[in-house]
Amino acid sequence: MTAIRKPFVLGFVLSMLIMLIAACSSGNNGNSEGNASSGEKPAESNQASETPAEPVEITWWNFPNYQPLDGEVGKYEKEIIAAFNQQYPDIKVNLEMITFDGGPEKLNIAISTNSAPDLIYDAPGRIIDWAKKDLLAPLDDMVTDEVRSDISEALWKQSMVGGKTYMYPINTAPFMMAVNKTVFEKMGKLDLLPLDRPDRTWTFEEYKTALQAVKDNAPDVIPSGFFAKSQAGDQGTRGYITNLGVSRFLNEDYSAVAINTDQAAAALDWIVQAQKDGLIVNGSASLAASDVNDLFLQGKLAFTINYSAVLKAQNKTLKKAEFEEVLLPFPTLDGSEPKLEPYLGGMAIFNNKDEAKIAAAKKLIDFIANDPEWGKKNLIQTGGLSARNSITGLYEDEDYKYSELARKFITDPPTIADGYAEIRTYWFPELQRALLGAATGKEALDAFAEKANEAISKAKAAQ
Amino acid sequence: MLSPALRTKRYIWRDWLMSYLFLLPALGFFLLFVAYPMLKGIYISFFNHTLNQFEFVGLDNYKFLFHDETFIKSMRNTVLIVLIAVPIVIAFSVFVAMTIYKKSEWLRSLFRGIFYLPAVSSVVSITVVWASIYDPNFGILNYITSFFGMDPIAWLGDPDTALYAIILVLITTSVGQPIILYVASLGNIPASYIEAAQIDRANSGQIFRKIIWPMLMPTNLYIIVITTINSFQVFAIIQLLTSGGPMYETSTVMYGVYEKAFVLGNFGLASAMGVLLAIVIGVISMIQFKFLGSDVEY
Amino acid sequence: MRLNRSPIISNIIVAACALLFIFPFYWIITGAFKVQDVAVAIPPEWFPLEPTLENFETLFKNPVWRWTLNSFIVAGGEMVGVCLVASMAGYVLAKKSFPGRVIIFSMFVAAMALPKQVILVPLFTMLADFGWIDTYKGLILPAIGWPFGIFLMKQFAQTIPGELMEAAKIDGCSEIRMFYSIILPLLKPAMGALAIFTFINGWNDYFSQLIMTRSTPMMTLPLGVATLKGEYTTPYGVLMAGAAIASIPMITIFVLFQKAFTQGLTMGAVKG
C-alpha cells in the first residue's frame, strides 16, 4: 500500500496543479463577477425587497443603435448610464455591446439557457417573436396616456402582442431607396428624378427611364442594386417588389402570403431581366444588403434599395466618395402612393422573474426615451426620427424633413406575423431561384407562398 | 520476500494505477467539457427544444431531416467538398513538397511559411479578401479574366461555380500543414534508394510510384484523416462568403447546424443534424483507417 | 539525376502559387493603410499611394490593447493547459498497457470527428450553471479537453524507444521522475508543435469566444474588431487594420518557432 500512496499523492497534486494554473488565469477579470450572479441566477435574487432604494443591478445588451462617440463602441451608452445614475444612483447598469453579426445568435443561446439580459434595444422582428414566446415583461404600466396617443397605430401594432405592450417604441424612419444625385447631376438628367415633387412619388416607368439613362450615360456606374444572399435587409427586397408590383407582402390579417400576384411576379421577372441587361447589379443572388450599400457608398451604384434616414446618418463616416445621396420612395407600377415599411427601434425587458429588476429596467427605458435633456439627444444619436408624432424638427436636413413627410406612407410590416422568423428564411432562397433562372417570378413567389403559409399555420397551431 | 510472480503482479498494479493517474487530467477535462456536452447534445436531439419549449418528440427530428430537401442537399455538398478537397490538398501538397524539399534550408523555410500563411491569418480577414477577389462587379478575378475576353462571372452567386469557389478557399487554408509534413518525409527517404533505381534506369514516374509514394504512406494517413475532418467541419468560410447560398448550393451540414440552432433557435433539430454529421464523419474516418493501413496503433 | 533538381516548370508553378498564397495577406496589410473607397477600387490599387493611419486611429479608440491581452491570455492558457494534459495522457497511451487503454484512446479519436457547434449549447448551459460565462476559465478550460492534442502527443510518444524507459526503471527511477526527467525532454519538440497549434486555434476560435463572452472588456481581438461592423455596411479599412493586428502575433510566433514546429509535427506523424 505504501508503494501506491506516493505516486497517487503525486499524481493527485499534479492534476490539482493543472487545475490551479488554469483557474488562476481567470483571476483578473473584475467586472464579470457581477454579471455572472445577475445574469445566471435570476430566480435566486427574487427575495430582493420591494423598496426601490435597495440597490439593483440590471444588464443591458445593446446593438450599435447609437452612432459610436469618437469611434468608440459603447462610449455613448456609458454616458447615458452615467447621466441615469445621477438620478438613480442605486441602479447599477451593466452594459454589454453586441453586434448585428453574432449578437442574435448570442441572444438565442442566452434566452434558451435562462441567462437573458434584462434590457434590450432592438426592432419588432425579434422582440415580437420573444413576446409571443412569453419571454418578455409587459410594459403597459409605464406607457402614459400622453405617449399612448402620441404614437401612431401602425407603430403600436408592431410593439404589442395580444393587447399588451412589449416594446417601448423610440426611434423610427421609413425604409426606402436612395439615389446618388451627383451621378444624375453630372449627366444633366436631374429631371428624371422625382425630386421636384414634394412627396417624391414616382412610377415604375419613370424609374426604368432613369436606370436606362445611367446605363447609357455613366458607364462606370451600375444603375441599381438588388440582393438575395441572406435574410439581412430583406425589408429592402420586400419593399421593392411589393411597390413595383403594387401588392401586399402578407394579407391584412397576416394569415397568408399575398405577394404571389401576377403583378409582383412581373416585377420579379423584370428584376431578373434587368440584371441581364445591366440595369441591376450583376450576381445579386450572392450579394448581401451590406454589399449593395457598400457599392452605393463607394459611388459605384446609382440606386440602392435598402436605405433610411437612420442609415444615412450612420453612413456619414463611411462615405468616402464625394457625392450627394437623396432618399426616394419606391416607385409604384401605377404611380399610386408607395407603401413603406418603417424601421422601428424600441426597448424591451426580458422577464427574468425579478420584479425589482423589471422595475429598474423600466426606469432606464423611461430615462432613455423621455428624459427632458437626454431623450432628444439619444434620438439624434440614433439618426432616427422620434416614434412620437409631436417630436419633430430634430435635424436641419432636407432628407430628414422628407422622412418626416414620408411617414404618411408607412404601412404595417409583416414583422409581427405569426411565424415571421421562419417565413423570412424562405424569402431569399426563392429570390435566388428566380435570379438564377431556376424558376420564373411566379413560380418562385408561389413556392414562397406555399412554404410561408405552412409556417404561419404551424406557428398559429403552436400557440 | 514475495514470490517473483506476486512481485510482477504488484508491479503491474502499480503501473496501471500510475497510468490512470497520468490520464486523469485529460480524461477529466474531456469527460466534463466534451463527452458530457456531447451526450447531452444527443439527448437534446430527441426533443423539440426551441427558445421556450422543451418537449420529447422521439425520432421526429431525424424523420424530418430524412425528408428535408435542404438537409439532403447540405449532406450532398458536405460529401462533395470532402471528395474534391482532400485529393487536391494531397496532390498539391505532394507536388509542392517534391519541388521544394531539395532546395536550400532558407528557401524551404520561406515556402513552407508562405503556404502556411492562410492557416494562421484570421479566417475573417481571409474571407474579406476572397470576397473582394470574387466580387461579380469589381472583383480582381473578373478583372483578370476580362483580359482573356471572358464575361464577368458571379463566382459565389452562380450555382455552377459557387461550391468550387468555396473549395478553392478551403484548399488554400488547408495545405500548410501537409506541405510541412511531406517535405519532412521526403527528406527522410534515403538518397540511396532513388540512386539505385536510377541506375536501374527507372523513369521519374516509376520512381515516384514505386519508391517515393510507398514511403509517404504513413504521412498520407495522418494528412487524409486530418484534412477530411477539417473539410467536413468547414464553416466560417461558408458563413462569411455565401451564407450557404445560392439556392443552398454551398450549404453544408455544419452550416445547417449553425443556422438551425443559432439563427432560428431550434436546438433539437440542430443537435440531430450534428449527430448525423458526426456519424458520417466517424464512418468515413473508420474506412480510411481500415484501407490506408493502421499507423495509429490502438 | 532528374529527381535531384525539380524541373523548371514545377519551380515556376510553385512560385506562382506562392504569390497567390501571399496575396490575401498582402492585401490585408495594404488594405489597412487605404481609405475606404480605394480599398475596394477597380482597377485595384496594388500599393497604397496615399497611405493613411485613419483606420488604425478608429480602431484604437476602442480597447484594442485589452482585447489583444485577452487573446493572449486565452490562447496562451489553452496552450499551456493542452500541452501539460496532453503530454501526460499521450505518454501513457503510447507506452503503457493497462485495461481500458484501447477504449479510452478510441474515445478520444472518435471525438475528434465531433463538430464543435453541436456541443456548444449544452456546454454553454453547463458553464452558465458554473457562473463561468464571461470569465477566462470559461474561455480556456473547455478547450483543454479537446482530444486532438492527446492524439498528437500519443503519436509522438510512440517514437520514444522503449529501451530508454526500461533502462531508467532498472536504475530504480520512479515513474514521476522518469516522466519529468526522461520523457518530457524527449517530448519537447512535439510539445513545441502542439503549443503553436493550440495557440493558433485558440487565437482564431471566433465562434466559441463569441458565445462565451459578454462584456466589452472580456472580448478577444477578433471579436472586438467584429463589433465595428455595421448591419448594412462594412468598414473594410478598419476590418483590415484589425485583421492585420490580429494576424501579426501569430505570424511572428510561426516564423520564430517554425523549426520547432516542423520538427515536432514531423516526429509524430512521419515515421521512418
* Domains in chain A: boundaries: 52-173+343-401, 176-339+418-462
Torsion angle in degrees (nearest 10) through CA of A44, A47, A48, A49? 170
End-to-end C-alpha distance for chain C, whole angstroms = 24
- Statement to judge: residues B99 and B213 lie in one domain: yes
Residue of C nearest to A308 (CA): C232
What SS3 state is found at A343?
Answer: strand
Mean pLDDT of A170-181: 94
Residue carrying C-alpha cell 438575395:
A228
Residue of C nearest to B208 (CA): C3
Contact list in A for residue B136 (CB cut-off 8 A) is 281-283, 286-287
Give chain C's mean pLDDT. Answer: 82
Mean pLDDT of C117-145: 87
pLDDT, position C73: 95
Total Cβ atoms within 10 A of residue B203 = 11
Contact list in A for residue B242 (CB cut-off 8 A) is 229, 286
Across the interface, which of A18, A425, A432 has its CB nearest the CB of B246? A432
pTM assigned to the model: 0.85
Confidence class of residue A348 from pLDDT cuts 50, 70 and 90?
very high
Residue A5 in this model has a pLDDT that exceeds 80: no
Asked if the structure places residue B145 within a domain, the reply is: yes
Residue A152 in this model has a pLDDT that exceeds 60: yes
What SS3 state is found at A129?
Answer: helix
Tell me if chain B has a CB within 8 Å of the CB of C105.
Answer: yes
Asked if the structure places residue B53 within a domain, the reply is: no
Q: Strand A168-174 to strand A160-161: parallel, antiparallel, or no bridges (unpaired)?
A: unpaired
Residues A182 and B110: their CA atoms lie apart, in Å, by 49
Residue B229 in this model has a pLDDT that exceeds 50: yes
Residue of B nearest to A286 (CA): B157
- Give A238→chain B minimum CA distance, Å: 18
- Give A144→chain C minimum CA distance, Å: 32
Domain count, chain B: 2
Residue of A nearest to C79 (CA): A22
Q: Please give the grid coordinates belonging to residue A298.
A: 463607394
pLDDT, position A41: 38
pLDDT, position C35: 76
pLDDT, position C25: 86
Mean pLDDT of C168-190: 79
Chains with ≥3 Cβ pairs under 8 A against C?
A, B
Confidence class of residue B286 from pLDDT cuts 50, 70 and 90?
confident
Residue A3 in this model has a pLDDT that exceeds 60: no
Please report the residues numbered 62 through 121 in chain A whose beta carbons come closer than 8 angstroms to any beta carbon of chain B.
104-105, 108-109, 111-112
pLDDT, position B294: 52
Same fold, A52-173+343-401 and A176-339+418-462: yes
Across the interface, which of C120, C211, C232 has its CB nearest the CB of A289? C232
Residue A279 in this model has a pLDDT that exceeds 60: yes
Asked if the structure places residue B58 within a domain, the reply is: no
**Domain A176-339+418-462 sits in CATH 3.40.50.300:** no
Across the interface, which of C73, C174, C214 has its CB nearest the CB of A25? C73
**Of the candidates A37, A147, A116, A157, the residue with the CA atom closest to the CA atom of residue A358:** A116
CA angle, A342 then A343 then A349, to 5°: 120
Contact list in A for residue B128 (CB cut-off 8 A) is none
Please report the residues numbered 93 through 122 in chain A whose beta carbons come closer than 8 angstroms to any beta carbon of chain C.
94-102, 105-106, 109, 112-115
Three-state secondary structure string covering chain B: CCCHHHHHHHHHHHHHHHHHHHHHHHHHHHHHHHHHHHHHHHHHCCEEECCCCEEECCCHHHHHHHHCHHHHHHHHHHHHHHHHHHHHHHHHHHHHHHHHCCCCHHHHHHHHHHHHHHHHCCHHHHHHHHHHHHCCCCCHHHHHHHHHCCCCCCCCCCCCCHHHHHHHHHHHHHCHHHHHHHHHHHHHCCHHHHHHHHHCCCCHHHHHHHHHHHHHHHHHHHHHHHHHHHHHCCCHHHHHHCCCCCCCCCCCHHHHHHHHHHHCCCHHHHHHHHHHHHHHHHHHHHHHHHHCCCCCCC
pLDDT, position C119: 85
Mean pLDDT of A12-24: 46
- Statement to judge: residues B17 and B114 lie in one domain: no
Mean pLDDT of C113-141: 85
- Statement to judge: residues B282 and B169 lie in one domain: yes
Confidence class of residue C75 from pLDDT cuts 50, 70 and 90?
very high
- Give C231→chain A minimum CA distance, Å: 6
Residue A137 in this model has a pLDDT that exceeds 70: yes
**ipTM attached to this prediction:** 0.85
For helices A2-24 and C64-95, give the axis angle rounded to 10 degrees.
160
Contact list in A for residue B156 (CB cut-off 8 A) is 283, 286
Mean pLDDT of B195-204: 82
pLDDT, position C269: 56
Give chain B's mean pLDDT. Answer: 86
- Statement to judge: residues B88 and B28 lie in one domain: no
Tell me if chain C has a CB within 8 Å of the CB of B278.
Answer: yes
Tell me if chain B has a CB within 8 Å of the CB of A278.
Answer: no
For A189-210, the pLDDT digits (tens) are 999 999 999 999 999 999 999 9
pLDDT, position B195: 83
Across the interface, which of B51, B246, B267 has its CB nearest the CB of A135? B51
What class is the C53-269 domain?
mainly alpha
Radius of gyration over every alpha carbon of chain B, rounded to an integer in angstroms: 25
Domain at A52-173+343-401: CATH code: 3.40.190.10
Radius of gyration over every alpha carbon of chain A, rounded to an integer in angstroms: 25
- Domain region containing B20: 4-44
Indicate the range of A173-177, A347-351, C58-62 predicted with least confidence.
C58-62
- Statement to judge: residues B112 and B237 lie in one domain: yes
Residue B5 in this model has a pLDDT that exceeds 80: no
Residue C148 in this model has a pLDDT that exceeds 90: no
Residues C119 and B30: their CA atoms lie apart, in Å, by 12
